[in-house]
Structure 1
Amino acid sequence: MGLSQLSSSFFFGASTPNFKRFKHIGLIKTSSKSDLITDSAAGATAFSAGIKTYNRAIGIDMDTLAVKLIPEVIDSNISSGVISTSSITHATPASFYAHVKTRKLEEDIATFLPKSPIDFFAGGGKKFFFKRKDNANLSKDFQNANFVIDTISLKKPSVSEFNLSSKFGFLLADNAMPKASEGRGDFLPSATQIGLDYLSQNKRGFFLMVEGSQIDWGGHSNDSDYIVQEVLDFDMAIGKALDFAEKDGNTLVVVTADHETGGYTLASNDGDYNKIKGSFSTSGHSATLIPVLSYGPGSEDFIGFYENNDIFHKIMKVTNWASSL
């Protein structure tokens, strides 16, 4: 999600986007340690661990050694969760709980989730846990980790069940969730709200990573309509986070992206300056700087130009979670 993807919500949405509610704005350079143009694995590991690493790396450094991720830094003191419209084993969510040499090893990535400090998750990816090529079934691993897993629907448990004595996971598609335009419904904003309701029960604090994963896929497909629908869906999830933060008064919200995809531009349609169409320069990623929007305590620290891995260190400073390192 680059600036043009974000901008699309101001032209194609039915209402004022939640993006407009942010007052503090910065820009990050996303290059990885191995490449000028990053992939999502290295880009997300920069956020989750505060280091630059090689493309395809999940939660490891250039020497393939595991690095401490935000949920591992805060561990049992602070609750943590990940939400994604991709499989939960995809590069970005995986970078917040797994340590593998390449993002392609999704079955290996899956084995990390039950053992990780993650308390709440929602997304796709059932087959990587329950229909594996090695015939292993991770149900027992989840059970041993005190997880309640729902593979049917995104349904908030009853008040009596929905407490921190159990962990909760929703795996609602074999691989990725459907496109927003193909029946995903309100999964992302609803999962965000349920995650906030659950994790905020921990009065010591919480960390939640929410990814509008398929904005990227629209870029790879050079499909502007796909991008627009996914950005608007992500904007609704941002609205849930901002509503919570405004009411709570002590929550930091940071919105950014691993990288831009597609070299997406909002161009005039056949020279008509009153009509906009999306155009593309690549089916891959680009090196363009990425917006960082922040709201809440410490949000002013996210203004300016800086490297993507600085996001981790700024979060650590603002929350004082750095003392756990």
Structure 2
Amino acid sequence: MTQPLIPFIDLKAQYKALEQQIRQRIDAVLEHGQYILGPEVKELEDKLAIYTGSKHCITVASGTEALLMSLMALGISAGDEVITTPFTFVATAEVIVLLGAKPVFVDIEPDTCNIAAHLIEAKITEKTKAIMPVSLYGQPADMDEINAIAAKYNLPVIEDAAQSFGATYKGKKSCNLSTLGCTSFFPSKPLGCYGDGGAIFTDDDGLAQACREIRVHGQSRRYYHTRVGVGGRMDTLQCAIVLAKLERFDWEVEQRLLIGQRYNQLMDDAGIQRVQQREDRTSVFAQYTIMVENRSEVEARLKAAGVPTAVHYPIPLNEQPAYQHLCCADCTPIAKDRAQHVMSLPMDPLLSYSSQRQLLELINQN
């Protein structure tokens, strides 16, 4: 298989830099043999809670499970409505529908592609039970505005922070910006494991306890089930891998900020439209995303040169066959437009400036 000229994300290089720490962590798990809820699980939860400033961290099987369990802990059920964005990965809406509730889609900001906070209040009804903004592409949404609206109507907020672990909003870490924060440790995320994994963050003792019980089939103690739950644990080996990678995560975040800023300068100088970042927050650039008119042509040119690209996301959720009955496509015109033009470029803590310049030249070719 031909190696790309510039990898989309270089997980192999990251592993080589951390090989000794990762192997030591894995070997320790193999030695003690506690593959489910072993000591590394609590160690990781404690360290992640400290990192975000949250009171509680509950590791779970995936970012999707984190969202699902958070909704379950809040008691979201059939007939309820949850306000969210259509411009996101399907898991955001999927978990709402799985509980019999209805996702209510609000359009996005044209520059950040995050949910437009000023449009949320008009969508609130007596059936609204939560608001779920997504920190898209690694940058939190307008959380102060969203939290203020939620407080006015006594609604909880769940930050879908699957792409933004490590980012900040007005000095606070993503995942600690609302009632509940949910992230993913999918391998390509800014902090990823080598399989599936995720985490829930909250300062609420009751919600934390509910999430812990839901994670193990609703058990408060062995074979005593206080609530309906799922099998949602993050296994010990994956926790061990994240612990090893956490050792240099601060450095990787710094590099992502640097590389993202270099990209910004290159794109701005060349007059290429890009996703914008607000001054009061940081992005960990889970993806670096531009907007191009002739996307298929640019994708093909980069592919021919050995440069992979991706589209996050080509079809808004309210245009997807499984969800289109919930909201007309014309209700979210900005999401519809951005879906036709966004394109994500290689983004990695080790991406060189020369590679970024190569990318720019390929994009600019006529």
Normalising TM by the smaller chain, what interval?
A: 0.3 to 0.5
TM-score (norm 2): 0.32
Greater radius of gyration (CA): 2
TM-score (norm 1): 0.35
Higher normalized strand content (fraction of residues): 1
Higher normalized helix content (fraction of residues): 2
Higher RCO (CA 8 Å, separation ≥ 6 residues): 1
